[in-house]
Amino acid sequence: MTEPEQAPKVPRRIGVVVCQCGGNISDYVDTEKVRAEIAKDPDVVSSRVEMFACSDAAQQASVQEIREKKLDGLVVCSCSPKLHLATFRAMSARAGLNPYEYTQVNIREQCSWAHTHDREGATGKALRLVRAGVAHTEGTEPLQRIRVETIPQVLVIGAGVAGLRLALALSDMGLSVHLVEKSDHAGGNVARWGTLFPSDRSGEEVTGQLIEEVRGRQNIQLYLRSELVEKSGRVGAFSVRIRTGTGDTIPLTVGAIVVATGFEPYQPAQGEFGYGLEGVVTLPELKEMLAKEPRSLTYHGKEVRTIVYVYCVGSRLPEGEGVQRTYCSRYCCSATSHVSTTLNSVHPELHQFHLFRDIRTYGRYESLYEGARRAGSVFLRYGEEDPPEVSRDDQGLLVRLKDRLMAGEPVEIRPDLVVLVTGMAPRPNEELNRVLKLPIGTDGFYREIHVKLRPVETVVDGVFIVGTAQGPKNVAESVASSLAAGSKTGALLLRGHVELDPQVARVDPTLCTWCGECQAACPYGAIDRVLYGDKEVAQVSPVLCKGEGGCVSACPKQAVSVLGYTHSQITAMIDALAREEA
């Protein structure tokens, strides 16, 4: 193999730590051999093996070594950077070493865990990876995080219960809120629903109180019949345009955007469990009926004596084409238990049959299920493979089911009203999705970064998702998530500035001849055409760039590179990986 051309090497002072991970690595990789081999590299001035490189004691030793040996680069060979990149960068910073002069080499997931049958092979691979890590570090340069100012204003999209509550929380923190609602009234789904579980307060009362409070705040502006139509900029300073009902567009600059667009009730197809037949309604339709007429229970003028509820309509379906409705909608079992108890308290003679698959009145809502049974509801279980059939003949509605408790024996019920307990479906939000480009899950709801640890953040910095826009939730859960987003937004904006990752693209204007390929490849609009002397070249805005590198591979002149992953670094790493021992 011929040696590739290289820029004259500047000698470096690199330290290497090889971690045993308490046997996770050293059981299958000869860590001492890896250390001894890499120590031969002239740029490596110190090398150690540690039982746990991430332990307090080992970190202390590394800090000391960086200081005493005046290291200008560090390589830790341990686990995945996902686990400890941030740990060792912070450790480097404590020792006075620029954190971007630190390189993590993953010899656990990629060597010891992957090759448990082959100690020699795993050791050889670890050595190649470490050499590549050192080669990468030889090309590092100190980088400073990019500090940018933030605007203390927030755009909240959707004025349902989650958006309203969030607006108040942000207002409490002294942030200005632009609350944008597509329809002509605030309050969302909840406002139409009559009494809510478990408090028995009406949805109108709950949202009405929030709306009144929102209207009284100086720093909340509510825009009805309005939509977000344009977004550019970056975390801390997004430029957005709102189109109002009159057709005007209002330009705003906001530090963060929160999507609280909610859900739409699942709409059964014609004929799905008899939907479309007279006397077959959905749960939200029943709730609206009762909200309008709380005392009497009639349908088309006829008194209702028997109700059949069919659970899990539009939820927990088998996997299929398109949007997946395999999820449980969470709120429906509790809501139905609650509504039937409420009905029985007003109409004790009413018969109610609940045809369910599994009852999921989790947590404290278990008492709603017991309450419904105590009040007189009868629960009958059906199997997923034998769904109930709803039809209508000359005697009226007829529901047939195979009763699981009676070994699948057919049971016929003649109700006056069939209520399809429909779940939550994602809103299509086509215009909004075009503007925001947020990731959407297979279920059609917006997707968070981490379901447990970062539940309201998205992959777009400064854009948060809350409430049922993210997936089925009841009112309490929606409000909890909106308050979570409130605190995340506050943490982001109240400091007055944010720090961005400096590993962004950079154009070498001496090589660039402006062809526009990089600009076309950039999904963030981070590349502008500027004059360099008398020629046109590309220029990257470091605050818009995410360092994703699409421009790098698009450039025919190799004039763009991402800092921390330059062409010379990548080439040096490949050479190190491929180098055969003498």
Partner 1 sequence: MKVDTRLLDRVSSGPEFDAKLCLNCGTCTALCPLGLEILPRKIFHHVLLGDKERLLAEENAIFSCLLCRMCEVNCPGGVHIAENVRALRVYLNEEIHGLAEV
**Residues forming the site for partner 1 (CB under 8 A):** 306, 349, 351, 353, 370, 373-374, 376-378, 380-381, 403, 405-406, 409-414
Instruction: Dig out the tokens for 351 from the structure.
Output: 């018969």
Name the residue nearer to partner 1 (CB basis): 31 or 361. Answer: 361
CB of 311 to partner 1, least distance (A): 16
Closer CB to partner 1, 149 or 409, in the complex: 409
Residues 175 and 454 sit within 8 Å (Cβ to Cβ) = no
Q: How far is the CB of 197 from partner 1 (least distance, A)?
A: 19
Terminal-residue alpha carbon distance, the chain: 12
Q: What is the DSSP annotation of 301-350?
A: TEEP-EEEEEEEETSSPPP-SSS---S--SSHHHHHHHHHHHHHHH-TT-
Q: CB under 8 Å to 226, separation ≥6 — which residues?
A: 180, 181, 182, 242, 243, 244, 245
Q: Minimum distance from CB of 129 to partner 1 (Å)?
A: 57
Supply the minimum distance, in Å, between the C-beta of residue 504 and partner 1. Answer: 60
Closest CA to 199 of 375, 364, 419: 364
Q: How far, in Å, CA of 73 to CA of 75, rounded?
A: 7
Measured over the CA atoms of residue 246, residue 249, residue 253 and residue 258, the dihedral's sign is: positive
> Whole-number minimum distance, CB 305 to partner 1, in Å?
8
Q: What are phi and psi of 67, to 5 degrees?
A: -70, -50
Where does 437-521 have alpha helices with state H? 475-493, 517-521
> What is the nearest approach in angstroms of partner 1 to the Cβ of residue 405?
6
Nearer to partner 1 (CB atom), residue 243 or residue 402: 402
Nearer to partner 1, 274 or 472 (CB): 274
Closest to partner 1 by CB, 127 vs 372, is 372
Q: Which of 138-176 are b and which e, b meaning 16 or more Cβ less than 10 Å from the residue's Cβ?
A: bbbeebeeeeeebbbbbbbbbbbbbbbbbbbbbbebebb
Identity of the residue numbered 68: E
Nearest approach, Cβ of residue 403 and partner 1 (Å) = 8
Q: Are strands 306-313 and 417-422 parallel, antiparallel or unpaired?
A: parallel
Which of residues 46 and 306 has its CB atom nearest to partner 1 in the complex? 306
Tell me the two tokens of residue 98. Answer: 């620029």
Cβ distance to partner 1 smaller for residue 50 or 416: 416
Of 411 and 554, which CB lies nearer to partner 1 in the complex structure?
411
475, HSE (Cβ side, Cα atoms, 13 Å) = 25
- Smallest gap from residue 404 Cβ to partner 1 (A): 9
